[in-house]
Structure 1
């Protein structure tokens, strides 16, 4: 039996015969957290340049090095994920990110209630249309609960976006 094999670049990548194309995306996890740890590990494996940012140097307790200034890393290739919605710095961090050239900005949180970032940004004088640019919830709706599941759903959503797909099971 003879198979007519047609060269398919996607198939070549899937079988490890050729490397995936580097699209230059950067994944920035904001705030040292268990979700950030998983998110950056998955991002490394999936072709993102990864950066950890935390404005509080006291939280840098070893592990992956973190930057303390967003200006040094944010450009138009960045997908930025705030991995803790309880930190008091979310307002100023998001305000600055919304002024930056970041490509995509999201913050973890349940869709069942308004996120604390809305009030924090409103109190800082950020316009409602700018606040609406912050994605929440983030990631694919897979019922994530653990830090690893939240990170997986988030990076899966970013991959769907990177590949121009809606995510989920729509093909």
Structure 2
């Protein structure tokens, strides 16, 4: 497992000033939060379409099913406007704290998996931590395209397709 200090960050040096920590606009980052069957597929698919990917799992005891070629970070990596964050388990007690930290990093997009017919537990968790309503509204739920996903790979595929559509300012689906 890697810590945040050893994570590969998506930064480059500014050509004119030489300053570090300037986001590379060509880099797309996907942070899958929590080790789960969905995050396993999401990491593989996202890498295939050109994302820099990382798995954030704050509980080292839960990292049991990381795909070959991937590692888990036990600290949230740096997030900027190149980052899309997908929380793959909305039942975890760390949900609110993880989302609050992610929102503070100013990622491009934050979403939580979950059934749209049930209230999102992230709202109460974030309100309990004093997060402003405007920031809570930045959290997308449900995520992905509505393709009737049922299996973890289908959910990951729908999620990634939705992220790509959103990033490209497209509605997704069959509307062109």
Rg bigger for which structure?
1
TM-score (norm 1): 0.83
SS for the counterpart of 1:105 is strand
Alpha-carbon shift at residue 60 of structure 1 (Å): 1.9
SS for the counterpart of 1:23 is coil
Aligned to 1:118: 123
Aligned to 2:169: 164
Structure 2 counterparts to residues 8-27 of structure 1, below 5 A: 23-27=26-30
RMSD: 1.4
Structure 2 counterparts to residues 56-135 of structure 1, below 5 A: 56-61=59-64, 63=66, 64-70=70-76, 72-135=77-140
The answer to whether the Cα contact below 8 Å between 2:78 and 2:105 also exists between their aligned partners in 1 is: no
Gaps of 5+ in 1: 1-21
Give 4+ residue runs of structure 1 displaced > 3 Å after superposition.
none
Alpha-carbon shift at residue 95 of structure 1 (Å): 0.8
SS for the counterpart of 1:51 is strand
Aligned to 2:48: 45
C-alpha separation in 1, matches of 2:72 and 2:48: 19
TM-score (norm 2): 0.81
SS for the counterpart of 2:103 is helix
Aligned to 2:57: 54
Which of the two has greater helix per residue? 1
C-alpha separation in 1, matches of 2:149 and 2:26: 27
C-alpha separation in 2, matches of 1:136 and 1:40: 19
Alpha-carbon shift at residue 159 of structure 1 (Å): 1.2
Deviations 1:19-71 (A, max 9, x none): xxx9311011000000000001000111111110011111123633100111x
